[in-house]
């Protein structure tokens, strides 16, 4: 199996405010069209929107249902974009390590 550039953890956090930007950055790289679809549906996830908010406002937004829905969309998009032989999600032995893992680590 060829090496996948994003194999392993892409973020070590369980905080929505950390997961959304990390997930979106990877999705923009591996599946730009899918990333655009997510952004069209949830425009608040974009870096441009985050940059216009204070950190406190960003953290408050990340506690909303809209943020949780956006995170679910991003997570699902990454799951569907995983290359053959990999799966996306929290590592089974380290629940705060989100990334792409070889099938043999499921």
For the stretch 83-91, contacts whose Cβ atoms lie closer than 8 Å and that sit 24 or more positions apart, written own/partner, are 83/4, 85/1, 85/4, 86/4, 86/7, 91/9
Q: Higher confidence at residue 58 or residue 49?
A: 58
What does the alpha-carbon distance between residue 29 and residue 53 come to, in Å, rounded to a whole number?
A: 24
State the SS3 of the chain.
CCCCCCEEEEEECCCHHHHHHHHHHHHHHHCHHHHHHHHHHCHHHCHHHHHCCCHHHHHHHCCCHHHHHHHHHHHHHHHHHCCCCEEEEEECCEEEEEEEEEHHHC
Mean pLDDT of the chain: 82
Encode pLDDT of 67-97 as tens digits: 999 999 999 999 999 989 999 998 888 888 8
Q: Higher confidence at residue 50 or residue 31?
A: 31
Domain boundaries, the chain: 12-105
């Amino acid at each position: 199996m060829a090496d996948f550039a994003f194999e392993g953890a892409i973020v070590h956090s369980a905080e929505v405010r950390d997961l959304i930007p990390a997930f979106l950055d990877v999705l923009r790289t591996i599946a730009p069209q899918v990333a655009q679809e997510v952004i069209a549906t949830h425009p608040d996830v974009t870096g441009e929107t985050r940059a216009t908010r204070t950190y406190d406002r960003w953290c408050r937004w990340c506690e909303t249902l809209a943020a949780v829905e956006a995170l679910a969309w991003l997570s699902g998009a990454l799951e569907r974009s995983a290359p053959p032989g990999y799966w996306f999600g929290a590592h089974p032995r380290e629940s705060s390590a989100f990334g792409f893992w070889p099938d043999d680590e499921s």
